Structure 1
Amino acid sequence: MCKVFVIDNEKRSLNPIHPAQARQLLKRGKAAVFRRFPFTIVVKESYTDATVSPLRLKFDPGAKYTGIALVNDVNGEVVFAAELKHRGFAIRDALTSRRQLRRSRRSRKTRYRQPRFFNRTRPQGWLAPSLQSRVENIKTWVNRLRKVAPITAISQELVKFDTQLIRHPDIQGKEYQQGTLAGFETRQYFLEKWNRECAYCGIKDVPLQIEHIHPKSKGGSNSITNLTLSCEKCNLKKGTQDIKNFLKKDKSRLEKILALTKKSLADAAAVNTTRFALLEVLKSTGLPVEIGSGGLTKFNRTQQGLNKSHWLDACCVGASTPILKIKGIRLLLITANGHGTRQSCRTDKYGFPIRHCSRTKFHFGFQTGDIVKAVVTKGKKIGTYIGRIATRATGSFNISTVQGLIQGISHKYCKTIHKKDGYAYAI
């Protein structure tokens, strides 16, 4: 079970405690809730504990999800685990839409507005906003967790597989492609892409061969988009047949294979582009940073018989990984939603304004996205409601609860549980 973070009355991080112990402290009035996500309490009395155990913060960065774990290197206890969902692709799509709308407006028979893409300079190390957001998300959670936990070291999975570097520390340039392990990365990519099974019959746990979808004897290339995995039996049976003839009786599998061959490499590109920028961010914290490869992560995970998931991969990052204690862990799911939009008005699909957008962010001390508890004592909607609110200038708010949307709740009944911080949470 994930433990509860504890800080003293001077905001110094202490050893995380069991949730039952935290409930007792809160019930007796010896502590108060400091933060809901991650759940943190602050002890009211002076509290000294000379035996604070150091923790290691571990990351398994990904294009869509990043695994986060806090591990005690001494006893292997996993104190905290989370999976962070990024919004990089949403940012990319929003920027594309904005660019298309602006380009459309310039091309109409209206007052000419000169394009401004040549009057901007990019600083050294610049990343596209969709990529920079991934780095900033992780940086935010490093800073948050450092405030409530005694973190003394960080581990990051830097590369997927870099076995050539392990054998030859001075390797560089073309030697990566021409060394004794040339093609190893490609094989590992195929294993993950095709789920470690034969593309034609679906059999697993057998030796698999790289096979040309469109036969090489009939003009097929060695491109990744023309290669798949096959067991020896299917490879011999297919021979030089075209895949459409070979799978003419299994249309669903044929469509699945053809769809996978067109799978984009955007995820891999995003991780490769941001990994070193993230490493520099982690080093800037001043803590020792350990880096590991995906191969080592997989080795640690399989040695301990753990399933494949983002947070378990994070627990297994680096050579420092001890024998893990993960029984009863409750995973915190974090989704990056951003802080809203700066649009002055909403537009239709052609880019024309259709309605006004209020520029006032706060109403009666609340803003849209806050998590509140509303105890309604009179009227038609008597009851207790917990959820995120949508504010109005009139003071009549809407609350999105688990049961559904509750409309028309006065601000007078609302009490803030968690301020909007750009993230959504689920257990």
Structure 2
Amino acid sequence: MLSKILPIEKVVVEIASFDTQKILNPDIQGEEYQNGVQKGFWDVREYCLWRAGYKSEVSGKKGVLEVHHIVPRSGGGTDNPSNLIVLTAQEHKAIHEGRLKIPKSKIEKVRILKDASHVSTIGWHIVNELKELYEDVRVTYGSITKAKRSEFGLEKTHRNDAYVIAGGTVQKRAKEWYFGKFFRRQNRSFHKVNPIKGGIRPANTIKEAYGFRRYDKVECEGKEGIIAGIRSSGYFVIRSLSGERIHDSGRYNKLKLLEKSKTVMFERRKAALSSHD
């Protein structure tokens, strides 16, 4: 989209990269990253027993030990050590019978690791898609962006993040800029959850009234915004792209259509810039 307006020679993408090994071991550094947590052990079970000190990670008791999946494989759990907990045979049986629960701290750690992996996968998918379109595609990381913002005394905003990611330092910045937002065309449901009279479930489509649809860009009493809500009475809720109130009850005959709704909508903004902008 931007390439239709400006020539793009280089693309830099910030990856929300979470260090999963750092989450498991905050003290990890240097060559320890290459070794991995299981290096030197025959299998995952042996590693988990060693990690637990050959005792239950719930009670600290010793004896006959079992390695249990915190998130079962049937529910998407893996054999990664972060998803395994060491229990006594009695505790293992009690968990399967519902008489004992796994500590929340263990479950939370697995959730963090799963979310981190998911975010990282999405980020790299975007990078690979961009490489199909542009020759020079590079990645950066949130920690680098934060350091650059701090260096130049910039507050945390999407605009300032983009500025330093693109290599901005002390250049004179434009006083006007564009804010964009993605809108889905349909929600995931084909029909309404609650049926109407007769048991019929209406199609779950975006409504239209008086020639206006949700997310159309309009002018209302001299102010531009998008239609955030539609009423059959002909009154509309108007908001900015960032959700700021423009009008809670703008009548249809007072609206001027500026742009039909699209997947990505933009609005022009002016910003109060700092002295080195």
State the TM bucket, normalised to the shorter chain: 0.3 to 0.5
- The one of the two structures with greater contact order (alpha-carbon pairs below 8 A, sep at least 6) is 1
With normalisation by structure 2, the TM-score equals 0.47
With normalisation by structure 1, the TM-score equals 0.34
